[in-house]
Chain A
Amino acid sequence: MAYFVRRIILLLVTVVLVSLITFAVFQIIPGDPIRIMLGPEADEARVETLEKQLGLDQPLPMQYVNWISGVFTGDLGDSIRFSRPVSELIADRLPVTLSLAFLSIAIVILIAISLGIYVAKRPNTLSDLVFSSVTQVGMAIPSFWLGMLLMLGLGMTFQFFSISGYVPWSESIIGALGSLLLPAITIAIPQIAISFRYIRNTILEQMQLDYVRTIRSKGITERVVMYKHVLRNAMIPILTVFGLIFAEVVAGTIIVEQVFGLPGFGSLLITSISYRDFPLVQGIVMYITIVVVIINFIIDILYAVLDPRIRLGRTGE
């Protein structure tokens, strides 16, 4: 119990620090949200009126205090640029980014585990080498370029993919897949290398252990050894790597959403930074932080469930 309480306190501390860092950055950087929105021809009267209406004539520390006191009452404030509640904007985008993230992770799991098992059965062969190098290359390609190449190669060949924009799942499942699959692959490709390599090594490590040798000596088929014993024991470290990947995938959505014109909150975050939309940036950063921290939290708990030794030995890290 104490473990959980500590985790939750840490979570809160992290979130508050994140918001303070964002605030500090906004304190330093130049740029006026109203003028950025209205451009160089902005009518002075309009600028003044808007500043007054949006409370931007107050100094930033005051805005922060207003904002943080709103957060405690569950109100994330209004976006300056879109003049709508931040929570509404985030809720609108949540399905896009989450679908994208989960689809990417599904692709990573699908490919990395199959490849990992395949290669672990044939360590240090040519296919091992080929797969490691190919996945490594995937990790080294700048994501926006990869997205463009995929769009050009696959998107233009198959009508199935929509090049830009998002189709909600409720409208058409196939349409949604068509709009999300290419960006999901773009996000997944760099992650496959990390997880594939990790899974391969973990399985290999397990196979060297005494218990595998014992089971094998009992004459059980390789298949059963692999899927029933080795994989189960390799699951814990594999879970960790997916925990790490989740944060990477969320980060990956940011530029890729921009490339594919997906209205997720990654692209929203980028524009809200350049538009100096302070409440919106705070809201999204907060949201991403909480999601990432919570996912790690869940992974830790799964960890503890799968391996009771951790619950006893670990006090948190």
Chain B
Amino acid sequence: MAAAGSVRAALQVAEVLETVVSCCLGPEGRQVLCTKPTGEVLLSRDGGRLLKALHLEHPIARMMVACVSSHIRKTGDGAKTFIIFLCHLLRELHAITDKEKDSFFSENIQTHGRHWKNCCQWKFISQALLTFQTQILDYVMDHYLSKHFLSIFSSSTKERPLCRSSLEMLLGAYFCGRVGRNNHNFVSQLMCDYFFKCTACESGFEEVLELVDDCFVELKVGVTGLPVSDSRIIAGLVLPRDFSVYCPADGDIRIVIVTETIQPLFSTFGSEFILNSEAQFRTSQFWITERTKAIMKYLQKQNVKLLLSTVKQPDLVIYCAGLNGISVVECLSSEELSLIQRVTGLAPFVLPQASSQYELSNTAMVKFCKPFILRSKRYVHLGLISTCSFTPHCIVLCGPVQGLVEQHEDALHGAFKMLRQLFKDLDLNYMTQASDQNCTSNPLIYKNSRESNDLPEIVNGSIQRPYQDTVVKNKDELAKTQTYLKAYSNLVVPSVELETNILCSTPTVTLTSVTYQTDATLRCFSPDKARVMDDHEPFIDSNSANSTAENTRREISYENLQVTKNARKGSILPVRYKSLEMCTYQSYCFSSVPAGCVLPVGGNFEILLHYYLLSYAKKCRQSEETMVSMIIANALLGVPKILYKSKKGNYSFPQIYIRALHALQTNQPMISNQTGLESVAGKYQLLTSVLQCLTNILTIDLVINIKRQPQEIYDQDSEEEL
């Protein structure tokens, strides 16, 4: 059976998922209880986990869940926001199609034909979304949003000292959405303490985060049956097993790691040992015993007090270790081994071939090694001396039930992932303002000035050549205008840049194109001015009342759509693509969101981006861009709407929205009533992931349902070889 992959279907799926995840969103969110097939119960507010636990059947839903989990794996945050945002985007798109049906598809087109036509249309939209994601989003982030960013570092010097209170706010906000509401303060405090205890020096926290994220499973100990408040941080490393032999020792203790049995065996893999006489057997056994003893003696002479082994050692080794005062811990997992190796830089001990007397090189020191009892279960507690910037500490997580402990573990692990992302620079690249301007203005010019497509091409060629010569110069100019742009309000920018363009080009361009260019500039100026005038009117409208603002917005989008339609028809389209090609000579702008950028929590990012996207949409003349920007801007509001759902009066969403818009228009700082911060990089990545997911959904035209047992996929290459 095949079903049409439509926005309608996707929207229905997304809406169902939205109802599930929105109940756990934000500080007011509640818990969800999941049962595993084994009968265990698990508490969760983690969107990714919930979506997986649902075991959805619907193909589109499964695709969404796959997108969410790949996003989560990377960033550790934002699964719920992902679904909500996606749902709102689909809702906006759906609303648009409904309208279009009224206006464009009222003619008698066959339903099937309509379906295909729809699909084509979705393809265009998805392409527009991609362009948005790759170009406009980065541009808006860099030019407008960046001035609102706060930093988690207390000063912007090279050492970048971490500000404890901002980190606390950041983690507080993160755990608000991830763990039960009576525990989030405690857990975030615990995490903060842990982070600062593990970070030995100010600068090495990236390394610490990386290590903790990679080895988190080994660094936590879960204990059930105790109240959550008994959770604590312990210095050193706790291994979930008992000593095979424990010999108390004081002071610094020397340790070695072995990865094979110390006692030699009769035969190794792939070899054969032939026993010819009983005497031979006796001597070989005697040799084995003596050899084992010799090795243990050697270790003792080298003052080794602790032996960590990845394999089970025979009784003889354990006995000899006890006699020589060496404690033994057996059966270390490979993860534990790699953690110890990363912390101490210790390589496994290679058994000496002969009873040599050379100095043992592969040893490390520990401050202490002692048994550690937690809830009448014994653990090995090692005080590793670190050679990297990570000071080993363990988190003991307590909770009345396993499900709660697991929730806290997941949340902590996610928080480390989130911090790791936060401390990375986020690269933004987009085409510069000037090139954008050219792209958008050119087609209009061509349309107005000429009927045929042949001529502009020639003109393009002629313009292109001189431009290539002055590329370097042009770049410098652009850099200047860039700084200029940051300093002053954006109203002045377009005219200035256009002027520079003309200045660069005029001397070398032929006469005809000069006239053409001047013509173009004139034409360019007038719409610009008109747009500047336009910009103010809707703002005043939105000030007056929320409802009217929404009305105007809807009208605008409607108009834009018609423009899109017009643009797609006729011969203008190829021209525009050509001009785009022409424009690419102008360099891409590489910028970045610096590491540690944060914004206050509570939909601040969404409202800011909403505002700037709207104003961008009003400025840009390209109808597709406008439409996409509008859709995304409106969908962004979905998250703060849910966050403030239960709030009343002054803290209700419309009130907050209007206040924020007002603050932005009058260039006042936005006042947030909530204490808490969130990572800008995380939000940005979320937005791009959602857009990618949406493009995927839109490009699907048919879902084919196969009723057959899933087959194993054979390796094609191996068959060919046969």
Please determine whether chains A and B interact with each other in the same assembly: no
Q: A residues bordering B, Cβ < 8 Å?
A: none
